[in-house]
Amino acid sequence: MALFGNTFFWTFFFMLGFVASVELIQDLGSQMAERWLHRPLDASWLLIGYVLIVLVCVRLLRVFADMDVWTANVLRNGALLYISTKLTDRRAFRALLGATALSFWPFWDWHWAVLAWFVGVLALLDGVNRARRWLLGREWRLLTAVAGMSLVMWGFDAYAYHTPLNETLLMATCFFLIQCVARGYDRLLVYRKHRIQTLQYDTQHDSLTGAMSRAKFMNDLSRWRQLRVSGQVPPVYLAMMDLDHFKAVNDEYGHLAGDALLRAFTRNWRDYIDAVAYPCSLYRTGGEEFSLIIAGGADAPTAQRLLTDYLAQLATVRAATRHGALPLTVSIGLTAIRASDARNEILIDRADAHLYAAKRAGRARLVTDDQEEGE
């Protein structure tokens, strides 16, 4: 039991760290590699490099630090079996298996029976990787595969290293339990990541329309304004938009009809800006108020044409409600970020002034800096 307890203790913490590192590399590895190497690099190959470093370290500890053979085998087998269910790149995984095979040179002094079993273990790991999606689809499939691979891998180790059967079964049990713990920890990390992503989405998006939120708008506007004022980016424009006669719709048809208008307007804008060649971001900044940031180098005529063309196509759009199809119209105020815009409020006030000018002029129209200054 001392052997079991010692191996379980050290391998338990190794696998937790290994699982966390794999998740971190999958999430951030490509971004960090591109930042440091200035070239894109798939996370699969970064994982291969990490696993190989682990295997080399285990081998060095086995050779030079007199690491126990059981501990070395548990660490190596655990890393290989776990990564076989994580890597999606088949070519990368086969490269890992090839490098793993070479690390065992001279292959137990070319003992052909041991070598054949070793090749069989690698082939089974390749099969696990090939069937990873199917195995991950049901928990019992994965645990069955892990149990089977535990017996095969530890049967090989018993044959190759001439270890007693009772110790081998004990280590196989230890190995299986640790793999179960590692899978549970993996699920916990994935769940936590999804919860964080959901919370981030909820804080940055409006729950009714799916447009980005006012808080996200203020952050993005501050960033673009600072970049533009400092001359680091080409012209950036802010359009403030307000649905026309929205209160009348709510009063006559109810708030559900108003909600339908808001959702239809957001969907229509998303479809429209998908075809635009420069970045445009839509935000819901009030009840029936929306904002659009136009960046990426559009000049004033291009930004104006974007919005006038949108108004023309919006005239043909109808929002489906329980009371029938209702028309959608919007008034828009457009302004460019200026060097004198020291605060977001200055920029927003100017765009709002243009918006209200559009309302006074009859609604369903665009008012820009040039039109206001001309008046």
Q: Which residue has the higher pLDDT, 63 or 147?
A: 147
Domain span at 198: 2-204
- Round to whole Å and give the CA distance between 157 and 154: 5
In a domain, residue 277? The reply is: yes
- Rounded CA separation 335/240 (Å): 9
Respond yes or no on whether the N-terminal peptide bond of residue 40 is cis (omega within 30° of 0): no
Question: Residue 343: phi, psi to the nearest 5?
Answer: -140, 155
| pLDDT beyond 80 at 110 | no
Which tens digit of pLDDT belongs to each residue from 276-296?
878 899 999 999 999 999 987
Does position 305 have pLDDT exceeding 90, yes or no? yes
353 and 240 co-located in one domain? yes
Structure confidence at residue 64 (pLDDT): 78
| Residues 208-235, mean pLDDT to the nearest whole number | 93
Span 58-71, average pLDDT = 78
- CA dist 201 and 193 (Å) reads 12
Task: Note whether residue 209 is domain-resident.
Answer: no
Do residues 288 and 194 share a domain? no
Do 50 and 156 sit in the same domain of this protein? yes
Q: Among 147, 181, 204, which residue terminates a domain?
A: 204
pLDDT band at 3 (very low <50, low <70, confident <90, very high): low
Cα 357 from Cα 178, distance rounded (Å): 69
What pLDDT shows up at residue 73?
84
Range ranked top by mean pLDDT from 55-64, 103-112, 162-171, 342-351: 342-351
Are residues 155 and 293 both part of a single domain?
no
The pLDDT value recorded for residue 257 is 93
Global pTM value: 0.68
- Separation between Cα atoms, residue 219 and residue 154, nearest integer Å: 56
Same domain, 18 and 152: yes
State the Cα–Cα distance between residues 291 and 308, nearest whole angstrom: 15
Percent pLDDT > 90 in the chain is 59
Q: In the predicted model, is pLDDT for residue 303 greater than 80?
A: yes
For residues 163 and 157, the answer to whether their CB atoms sit within 8 Å is yes
Q: Of 204, 226, 256, which residue is a domain's last? A: 204
* Residue keyed to tokens 């970020």: 337
> Which of 23, 252, 288, 345 is flagged as catalytic?
288
Confidence at 340, pLDDT banded by 50, 70, 90 = very high
Instruction: Please give the span between the terminal C-alpha atoms of the chain, in angstroms, as a whole number.
Output: 90
- Contacts by residues 273-281 (CB-CB < 8 Å, ≥ 24 positions apart): 276/306, 278/302, 280/306, 281/212, 281/220
In CATH, what number is assigned to the domain containing residue 351?
3.30.70.270
| pLDDT band per the 50, 70, 90 thresholds, residue 86 | very high
Q: Is residue 165 part of a domain?
A: yes
Is 125 inside any structural domain? yes
Nearest to 177 by CA among 3, 1, 9: 9
Q: Residue holding tokens 């089977």?
A: 148
CA distance 375 to 357: 11
Q: How far is CA 39 from CA 88, 117, 122, 127, in A?
A: 21, 40, 32, 32
Residue 375 has pLDDT above 60, yes or no: no
pLDDT of amino acid 243: 95
37 pLDDT tier (thresholds 50, 70, 90): confident
Among 185, 204, 223, where does a domain finish?
204
Same domain (yes/no): 198, 252? no
The predicted structure's pLDDT at residue 4:
63
102, exposed or middle or buried, with CB in 10 Å at 0-12, 13-18, 19+? exposed
Q: What is the DSSP annotation of 222-249? A: HHHHHHHHTTSSS--EEEEEEETTHHHH
- 166-200 residue pLDDT tens: 888 888 888 898 899 999 999 999 999 889 888 88
Eight-class DSSP state of 307: H
Please name the residue that has the structure tokens 């060097």.
339
- Domain membership flag for residue 224: yes
Answer yes or no: do 13 and 62 share one domain: yes
Which residue in the block uniquely carries the two structure tokens 């075809």? 275
Count: domains in the chain = 2
Q: Which pLDDT tens digit goes with each residue over 134-170?
A: 999 998 999 999 999 999 988 888 888 888 888 888 8
- Enclosing H/E stretch for 60: helix 43-64
Q: Is 288 labeled as catalytic in the residue annotation? A: yes
Residue 39 has pLDDT above 90, yes or no: no
What's the mean pLDDT when you consider all of the chain? 89
Please give the pLDDT value at position 308.
94
Instruction: Check whether 51 has a pLDDT greater than 60.
Output: yes
DSSP 34: H
Same-domain check for residues 232 and 348: yes
β 330-336/289-294 pair status: unpaired
